[in-house]
Amino acid sequence: MNFNRRLALVVLAPGALLGLWLLLGAGLLFAALGPADRAAVADTLAPLIDSHGMLVVLWWFLAALGAGFVAFRLYARYGEAPARLADATRVLAGDAAAPPLPPQAGTGMRALGEAINALAGQRRALQDDMARLIAEASRDVALQRDQLAALMAELEQSVVVLNLEGRILLYNARARALFRTLSQAPGGVAGAELIGLGRSIHAVIDRALIDHAREGIARRIARGDAQASARFVTTTPLGHLIQVSLAPVRAAADDKGDITGFVLLLDDITDEYEARSRQDRRWLDLSEASRASFASMQAALDMLDYPDLEPADRERFQAVVRDEVGVMSHRLTTLAADASHDMKTRWPLQDMLGADLAAAAAQRITAETGQEVDTVAVDADLWLSVDSFALIQALAFLAARLAEALDAPRFALRLAPAGGRAHLDLAFQGTAPGLDLAGWQTRPMQTSDAPSPLTVRDVVERHGGELWLEHARDGSGALFRFLLPVAAGTVAQVPAPGESRPAYYDFDLFAASAQSRESDERALSEIAYTVFDTETTGLDPAGGDEILQIGATRIVNGRLLASECFDQLVDPQRSIPEAGIAVHGIRPEMVRGKPTLPQVLPAFHAFAADTVLVGHNVAFDMRFLTLKENASGVRFDQPVLDTLLLAAIVHPGEDSHGLEAMAARLGIAVSGRHTALGDALATAEIFLKLLPLLRARGILTLGQARAAAQTSYYARLRY
């Protein structure tokens, strides 16, 4: 509208001005004339106005039309085009991805447009560069982190990285396995209440010990020792001895920056320590007992030297010597039997499934000799403690020597347990009298690929084992029998690295130190949460209904830590109504022998320590927990958030805030519905989706969320 009116004004104004100019000129001329001339002119012109007046008006109109057209063109070029250009430039300024300006009419405008386009192009290129660099950098960082996490996962040692507050920001699978052995909690929890991102290490290691170690490091750094680290041994409630090495993490790579955290290397040295103490004890006992025996014998022998001994005395001293010799022999026999178990080779051996070793050895022997190897009689479940490379080399070497000495011997590998050890046999058909077994054992091994400085005997000794050649009585064949150590106990179950691996670190926690601890002031996005759910025998805790199962997971720094879970069945110590079984699927035999709630709750309390509790319709679950406060001795007094109430804030119009309806609304796939852990995981995902929706409504802190939830609670009560 505005634009059109201005255009009309621009087009009409020249004609109007021209008309005015002409009229003014005529008026001036008329006024300048004397009265006689005026009358004469008027007389002359008056008749002409009627006849030729139209001509003048037409003349003016033509001029007005021409001027109007010129004004229109001028306006279009110098008025409208710059305005359009300005608008387009503004759009470009606001959004670098906007299309470039179209070519402008007029040389000046065209040049201007091109200049602006060039500028915008440069800016776009710059932005793209920047974005690419950022993407590359963050990809590099992500890659490095993943590599670090992968490295940590493979480490044989337990590694935990802490921030200055002692909160865990990285741990590896070994550390997790170690903490599982330290945990006093029932099996379904096992360590998850001790180790987890954002948790405090002080639950396991006394704060004073770590502080002491840190002071020591600070002193050494102050003295200029850049490589300062500390080492100490601590005991756990279950009596484990944990050796801890603590090294600072420096902000800068040159070891000059501020300390931002600590790396702990943890080692469970209980077994090693006990074995060593046992060995020391044995050695001491043996030396003392031997001294006593030798003293008795020596004294008796000294007495026997008296020439004038009565036969009875002589007999007495001889009896002493005989007695002591007997005692000492017996002592040595018992000791040897007892100690051989602890006498392990010092060579580092790795645990390996015997069947894997046999398969690899068979392959190698076939490659070496061209003979098939039978591995039917290999115990499939036996774990060995071996130096597999050297052992396979030894087997291949022996097989190659046999193949040289005999004509196409048929090989078989056998593996069987034997007492506390294992027999690994390389059996072969036929015998040849000229077998130089002793020579083979002590000659450096030479197989097809490379000479080895080791002899077969070395390999055997490396394992603290033995090797001999055994002939079948019926002459059908013979075998080389390796006596090998078996792996002690079961191999510690380390969670397979893979999808769960990235969950073991969160370096953003490095920064999370000086935040406000005033809980209501804390931002919702920064709080650590424990999201949980329970399955119960019924709906009335006061009327005797009990918890059957507790499932929980954690959210730290806005990330769901699905690998840090709490999943525990509970013996309700009462019957389970059939109606409930249809819902939760927990049958009486599933909970038989499980811990009771007073046993489980302390572990859950530890799991949820220092976090805000979150649940769906959580008031129901909290009632069960509160009723057990006295029996279990733990109180859940941390803040609690309810996803049901929070959902009512962000979606006030919806009438169903059930878990399934909400999951569907927020686009979350629920698996394991109606198991406590499955529901807890679903609730956690819903909670994470709710957080940005709450932020959009100005709810940023815990205090605001609690207040809003309360309002919506009362709102719900009213309807």
Partner 1 sequence: MIPELAPAKACAAKVLIADDEPNIVVSLEFMMKREGFEVLVARDGRAALEAIRRERPRLVLLDATMPGMSGFDVCEAVRADADVRSTCIVMLTAKGRETDMARGVGAGADAYVTKPFSTRDLVQQVKDMLAKDTAARALATGSAGAGELPKDMPA
Tokens of 323: 């007695």
Long-range Cβ contacts of 175-178 (<8 Å, 24+ apart): 175/266, 176/494, 176/495, 176/504, 177/492, 177/493, 177/494, 177/495, 178/242, 178/266, 178/268
The Cα–Cα gap between 121 and 127 comes to: 10
Query: Given the complex with partner 1, which of 310 and 407 has the nearer CB atom?
Result: 310
Query: What contacts 324, CB < 8 A, 6 or more positions away?
Result: 293, 294, 296, 297, 300
Residue among 320 and 627 whose Cβ is closer to partner 1 = 320
Residue 240 is a catalytic residue? no
Give residue for tokens 């003979």.
371
In the complex, least distance from residue 235 CB atom to partner 1, rounded to whole angstroms: 25
Task: Please report how close the Cβ of residue 269 comes to partner 1 at its closest, in angstroms.
Answer: 24
Rounded to a whole number of angstroms, the minimum distance from the CB of residue 328 to partner 1 is 11
Residue 410 sits at φ, ψ, to 5 deg, of -90, 120
Using CB atoms within 10 A of its CB, is residue 61 exposed (0-12), middle (13-18) or buried (19+)?
middle
Nearest approach, Cβ of 310 to partner 1 (angstroms)?
A: 10
When the beta carbons of 324 and 546 are compared against partner 1, the nearer one is: 324
Work out the burial of residue 179: count CB atoms within 10 Å of its CB; fewer than 13 is exposed, 13-18 middle, 19 or more buried: buried
In order of 189, 333, 490, 610, the CA distances from 420 in angstroms are: 33, 18, 14, 47
Nearer to partner 1, 291 or 697 (CB): 291
Contact 41, 26 (CB under 8 A): no
Q: Nearer Cβ to partner 1, position 30 or 306?
A: 306
Q: Which of 558, 495, 501, 555 lies closest to 525 in space, CA to CA?
A: 558
Q: Which of 202, 240, 605, 674 is catalytic?
A: 674
Nearest distance from C-beta of residue 283 to partner 1, angstroms: 11
> How do beta strands 477-485 and 350-353 pair?
unpaired
Cα angle, residue 337 at apex, residues 331 and 342 outer, rounded to 5°: 115
Q: What is the largest CA-CA distance in the chain?
A: 194
Q: Between residues 218 and 303, which has the closer beta carbon with respect to partner 1?
A: 303
- Whichever of 323 and 508 has its CB closer to partner 1, that residue is 323
Q: Residue 316 Cβ, how far from partner 1 at the closest point, in Å?
A: 6
Cα-only R_g, the chain: 46
Q: How far is the CB of 422 from partner 1 (least distance, A)?
A: 39
The rounded distance, in Å, linking the Cα atoms of 618 and 631 is: 21
Q: How far is the CB of 272 from partner 1 (least distance, A)?
A: 23
C-alpha separations of 305 from 295, 301, 308, 314, 317 in Å = 15, 6, 9, 10, 10
CB of 320 to partner 1, least distance (A): 5
Q: Which is nearer to partner 1, 218 or 328 (CB)?
A: 328
> Of 293 and 553, which CB lies nearer to partner 1 in the complex structure?
293
- CA-CA distance, 32 to 687, in Å (whole number)? 93
Give the separation between CA 166 and CA 494, rounded to whole angstroms.
24
What's the min distance (Å) between Cβ of 274 and partner 1?
21
Question: What's the token pair of residue 650?
Answer: 């962000």
241 or 320, CB closer to partner 1?
A: 320
Smallest distance, Å, CB 331 to partner 1?
13
Do the beta carbons of residue 636 and residue 613 sit within 8 Å?
yes
Contact indicator for 424, 394 with CB cutoff of 8 Å: no
Q: Measure the CA–CA gap between 173 and 462, rounded to whole angstroms.
A: 29
Q: Is 470 helix (H, G, I), strand (E, B) or coil?
A: strand
C-alpha span between 396 and 352 (Å, rounded): 18
d(CA 310, CA 62): 169
Tokens 């009309």 -> residue: 8
Burial label, 467 (beta-carbon count in 10 A; 0-12, 13-18, 19+): buried
Strands (E), 396-541: 411-418, 421-429, 444-446, 451-455, 466-471, 477-485, 529-536
Residues that bind partner 1 (CB under 8 A): 284, 287-292, 294-300, 302-303, 305-307, 313, 316-317, 320, 323-324
Joined together, the tokens standing for residue 322 give 């005989």
349, 485 Cβ separation under 8 angstroms: yes
Tell me whether residue 3 or residue 294 sits nearer to partner 1 (CB atom).
294
| 235 sits in which H/E element | strand 230-235
User: Any idea which residues carry the catalytic annotation?
Assistant: 674
